[in-house]
Amino acid sequence: MTTLETGPDTGTSWTVCPYCDAMIYAKRYDRSGRVCPDCDGHGMLTADQRLAALLDEDSTRWIEPAATVADPLEFTDSRGYPERIAQARRRTGMTDGIRCAHGTIDGAPLVLAVMDFRFLGGSLGSAVGEAVTAAAEAALARRVPLVLVTASGGARMQEGILALMQMAKTSQALGHLDDAGVLTVSVVTDPTYGGVAASYATSTDLIIAEPGARLGFAGPRVIAQTIGQTLPEGFQTAESLLEHGFVDMICHRSTLRDRLARVLALFADRERAAGEVGTSAESVRPAAESAEEEPPVLRADAAALPERDAWQSVRAARELGRPTTLDYLAASFDEFVELHGDRLEADCPAMVTALARLHGAPVVVIGTQKGHSAAELSRRNFGMPSPAGYRKSARALRLAAKLGLPVVTLVDTAGAYPGITAEERGQAAAIAESLKLLAGLPVPVVAVVTGEGGSGGALALAVADRVLVCENAVYSVISPEGCASILWKDAAAAPAAASALRVDSTSLVRLGVADGVVPEPEGGAHRDPAAAAATLRGVLHRELRALAAVPAPDLLERRRRRFRAFGLPTSNDQELS
């Protein structure tokens, strides 16, 4: 960043934006968190500036890592390594390229480790690796989240193979936090490359990137020289990484503190609840919102359920105005933070995953997403997830298991996407993985079929302790049209196929597939989405509260027995015959 003094008397200085070359008044630039007012480019911050911007005032307690070998290789190029270190220390006022501290963000405790690119390009050497490891151990000791803010050009060459070993050392430390169920978050800033990118920057539970931040293992010049090609525009930027499923979200610097506060508060509430007597839902639910005060709206008595026209249910389930997963997240839950990406290739728009609150209690929500317009339906692939969608949901399931959070799944899909690319990328294996994960997930799972429940693509989200179905929803092994075409040899026989398949909510309860029917407003959920969302909120609250009282081993055994029994003779068989 170039700084220009306007004159010896005024002391006024101007800087040049490194992204758009605009002249910016320096004080204004600093007040904005070093974000360009013209192009919104996010300039570099020092570690101290980051810490001051994120942590609550007077909450900082420094973590002093152990001393490391100063010059393990006695390395010299044009200058000796000790000389380079001394110069970096004089210029930055830091011991090495990172600062670590205990602190709070809006009262939520955490350990924060922040890299500083000014110190030898934020390179990963023994001192940085030791500091990250010490920060992870401090987070483990206090069972508070670890947040890492990264900025690095890669491993420190002057320390040779010992610098490379820091990748393994820090990854091992984060693995211990995974085993202990402690939340980890990385905030990727520009640039983050090499050994940092290939270790702790991308192995956390959540990855948040600043706009325009570049992240990659190899730098763009190395890649371009190696393959002899011009790299595409936006290559390795946060925006491209989000599209390809490698980061959970892009967060503007002005909102980063608030976003972290919301995520950390979820973990803090979960930890506080786990340490108190009673279930997690009981512990964090507002006192005024007692489950006993809510009317028991779920209809679970099979004999009392009305007969339903299966084809009319199919048509109602497909109404474009029915609430979607995102609609329910906004209206049925207190708040939510959406997570993106499968960390492998893509962010499937037909699958939504989120951290959320329900009556104050933290939960993980996963659901298929259709849309209300032709444009959104097309963008969301008509609610039919790709393999990346199921891998994204698997990520969320593993996070729920790690953090001990209950899971709510919302199902509205005609089925998994049937296409060449889906098959090439392992659609069947992705669904199989989801089924196995849900079968053994050691936390409560409630699945709700809110619209269409189509085949294995729907079942991949519905291996649950409680399976509920909205009044006008349907659930089937195949669409009525598909069944009619195959067995009736006539797609026009779809109404007859729907009836034969017994896809409606009443039949699903009588078959034992669903545990109860969630009532809808008169005329269907699309007539009054707000009322439908309020009903679902109450039902989920009661169901999760009841499940929270069940020990995990009993929960898993009940789930095993539930699905073990399907296909065996039951009393329902005579009732339906």
CA pair distance 479, 472, nearest whole angstrom: 15
- The answer to whether residues 395 and 324 belong to one domain is yes
* Residues 482 and 367 reside in one and the same domain: yes
Q: Are 433 and 485 in contact (CB under 8 A)?
A: no
Residues 12 and 76 in one domain: no
pLDDT of residue 484: 95
pLDDT digits (tens, 9 = 90+) for 190-210: 999 999 999 999 999 999 999
Number of domains in the chain: 3
Instruction: State the pLDDT confidence band at 28, using cuts at 50, 70 and 90.
Output: confident
Q: Spell out the residues 6+ positions from residue 81 whose beta carbon is closer than 8 angstroms to its own.
A: 71, 73, 74, 75, 158, 159
What is the rounded CA–CA span in Å between residue 340 and residue 345?
A: 11
Whether residues 450 and 567 fall in one domain: yes
| 28 inside domain | yes
How far apart CA 202 and CA 155 sit, in angstroms, is: 15
Considering the domain boundaries, does residue 424 fall inside one? yes
Tens of pLDDT along 468-523?
Answer: 999 999 999 999 999 999 999 998 999 999 999 999 999 999 999 999 999 999 99
Residue 255 and residue 336 in one domain: no
pLDDT interval class at 284 (50, 70, 90) = very low
Q: CB atoms < 10 A from the CB of 8, how many?
A: 6
* Higher pLDDT among residues 179 and 276, named by residue: 179
Structural tokens at position 530: 């707000």
Q: Binning pLDDT at 50, 70 and 90, where does residue 572 land?
A: low
- By CB atoms closer than 10 A (0-12, 13-18, 19+), residue 523 is exposed
pLDDT at site 396: 98
471 φ/ψ angles, rounded to the nearest 5 degrees: -55, -45
Residues 371 and 415 reside in one and the same domain: yes
Q: Which of 228, 254, 269 is the last residue of a domain?
A: 269
Report if residue 98 sits inside a domain.
yes
| Same domain assignment for residues 36 and 79 | no
**Based on the domain organization, do 86 and 213 belong to the same domain?**
yes
Examine residue 9 and state whether it is found in any structural domain, yes or no.
yes
Query: Would 287 be classed as within a structural domain?
Result: no
Q: What is the total residue count of the chain? A: 577
Structural domain harbouring 507: 297-576
Q: How far is residue 165's CA from residue 155's CA, in Å, rounded to a whole number?
A: 10
Identify whether residues 49 and 30 lie together within a single domain. no
CATH number of the CATH domain containing 254: 3.90.226.10
pLDDT, average across residues 359-373:
96
Same domain, 254 and 337: no
Alpha-carbon dihedral angle through residues 7, 8, 14, 16, given to the nearest 10 degrees: 90
Query: Does 288 map to a domain?
Result: no
In a domain, 330, yes or no: yes
Residue for token digits 């931040």?
Answer: 213
Residue 191 preceded by cis peptide, ω within 30:
yes
Same domain? For 246 and 342 the reply is: no
Are 37 and 63 found together in one domain? no
Residue 202 is assigned to a structural domain of this protein = yes
